[in-house]
Amino acid sequence: MDTNNDTAKDRISRIDSYGFERPDGFDYASYEDFYSRYMTVLTRRAMKWSKMMQKSTAVEKGIKVKRYIRKGIPDEHRPHVWMMVSGAQAQMETNPGYYHSVLLEGQKNTKLVDAVVTDLNRTFPDNVKFRKNASPCLQLTLHNVLVAYGQHNKTVGYCQGMNFITGILILVTKDEEKAFWLLDALLGRILPGMYCFHKKWPCCREVRNTCIF
The 3-state DSSP class for residue 7 equals: helix
Report for 37-46, 52-61, 139-148: range of highest mean pLDDT: 139-148
Summarised one tens digit per residue, pLDDT across range 151-202 is: 999 989 999 899 999 999 999 999 999 999 999 999 999 988 777 654 444 4
Summarised one tens digit per residue, pLDDT across range 110-125 is: 999 999 999 999 999 9
The 3-state DSSP class for residue 20 equals: strand
Q: Tell me the C-alpha distance between 118 and 172, whole Å.
A: 23
Task: Please provide residue 201's backbone torsions phi and psi, each rounded to the nearest 5 degrees.
Answer: -95, 125
Q: Tell me the C-alpha distance between 119 and 7, whole Å.
A: 38
CB 187 within 8 A of CB 156: yes
Q: Is 24 exposed, middle or buried (0-12, 13-18, 19+ CB in 10 A)?
A: exposed
Q: What DSSP state is assigned to residue 189?
A: I
CB 179 within 8 A of CB 173: yes
Average pLDDT, the chain: 88
Q: How many of the other CB atoms lie within 10 Å of CB of 138?
A: 23
Q: What DSSP state is assigned to residue 124?
A: -
- 107: pLDDT confidence band, cut at 50, 70 and 90? very high
Residue 79: predicted pLDDT? 95
Q: What size, in residues, is the chain? A: 213
The 3-state DSSP class for residue 80 equals: helix
Strands (E), 122-182: 158-159
**CA torsion through residues 47, 50, 54, 55, sign:** positive
Q: How many of the other CB atoms lie within 10 Å of CB of 147?
A: 25
Q: Tell me the C-alpha distance between 75 and 67, whole Å.
A: 17
Q: In the CATH hierarchy, which fold is given to the domain comprising 91-212?
A: Helicase, Ruva Protein; domain 3 (1.10.8)
Those residues with Cβ within 8 angstroms of residue 77's Cβ, 6 or more apart along the chain or in another chain: 46, 49, 50, 53
Whole-prediction pTM value?
0.85
User: What's the rounded mean pLDDT across residues 7-23?
Assistant: 92
Summarised one tens digit per residue, pLDDT across range 56-97 is: 777 877 898 899 999 999 999 999 999 999 999 999 999 999
* 15, 46, 120 from 78: Cα distances, Å: 20, 11, 25
Domain-wise residue ranges, the chain: 1-55, 91-212
